[in-house]
């Protein structure tokens, strides 16, 4: 069985500060890992994904994530937060079939 844990349902950062959103997963098979972003009243948009290969993955809007097998983690980072990054972020794990298991989400607030 697979599962995802996102630590911190709400994270606040100052504009220009580092963004770190945490995601830990559990999977009995090599996982596929995803980060999605949801802006208010919109659907989910793919930020980045890890399937195989390089463990540091770069996505859109300056975000990146690193797959760390030993820590079963896939944390999302951005060096400098922008007001437009305020949104809800979801981590998801898949076993390379059709099924995504989503985390409960982390709402990011960016302070001016």
Partner 1 sequence: DAGVIQSPRHEVTEMGQEVTLRCKPISGHNSLFWYRQTMMRGLELLIYFNNNVPIDDSGMPEDRFSAKMPNASFSTLKIQPSEPRDSAVYFCASRPAGTDTQYFGPGTRLTVL
**Binding letters toward partner 1, positions 13-42, x by CB under 8 A:** -------------------x-x-x----xx
Other CB atoms closer than 10 Å to residue 109's CB: what's the count?
12
Question: Token pair for residue 48?
Answer: 């980045």
For tokens 């993955």, what's the residue?
A: 57
- Does 103 contact partner 1 by CB under 8 A? yes
By three-state DSSP, how is residue 111 classified? strand
- Closest approach, Cβ 80 to partner 1, in A, equals 27
CA angle 40, 4, 33 (to 5 degrees): 80
Rank residues 17 and 95 by Cβ distance to partner 1 and give the closer one. 95
Residues of this chain that interact with partner 1 (CB under 8 A) are 32, 34, 36, 41-46, 49, 51, 90, 94, 96, 98-100, 102-105
């Amino acid at each position: 069985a697979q599962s995802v844990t996102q630590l911190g349902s709400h994270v606040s950062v100052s504009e220009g500060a580092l963004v770190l959103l945490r995601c830990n997963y559990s999977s009995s098979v090599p996982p596929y890992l995803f980060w999605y972003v949801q802006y208010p009243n919109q659907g989910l948009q793919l930020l980045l994904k890890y399937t195989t290969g390089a463990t540091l993955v770069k996505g859109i809007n300056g975000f990146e994530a690193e797959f760390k097998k030993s820590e079963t983690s896939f944390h999302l980072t951005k060096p400098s937060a922008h007001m437009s990054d305020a949104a809800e972020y979801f981590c998801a794990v898949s076993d390379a079939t059709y099924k995504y298991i989503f985390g409960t989400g982390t709402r990011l607030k960016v302070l001016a």
